[in-house]
Structure 1
Amino acid sequence: MGEGKERMDITISFRIPEYLKSEMDKVDINWSEFLRKNLEEKIGLEKLKNVWSEIDAMKDLINR
């Protein structure tokens, strides 16, 4: 998260199979924190992939 920005949380929801929820309840994991961390990581990776795609496109233009 950027510096100087106030954190404002929102709630999202999604459906999962009942068996999966049952399995989640059997382990001691803070699922909100786990999902938040993994969402941030995935977003970062996707942004990085986009940057590399742009770099590759620029390299193609330069090498014409």
Structure 2
Amino acid sequence: MGTLTSLGFTDLFKNVGTLTSLGFADLFKNVETLTNLGFTDLFKNVGTLTSLGFADLF
């Protein structure tokens, strides 16, 4: 998706959607609907967490 390297968390997600004035959850409505899914479940559609840390996933 993108490399964290020295980029900030927000900069990483500019590849997904623009934060602008949207809230964090609103941003991800473009990827998947949170509805009653957990945060981790949402990202199973993007990548597998397995034993990787959150940063390692991205």
TM-score normalized with structure 1 length = 0.21
**Which one has more relative contact order, counting CA pairs under 8 Å at least 6 apart?**
2
| Greater fraction of residues in helix | 1
Of structures 1 and 2, the larger Rg is shown by: 1
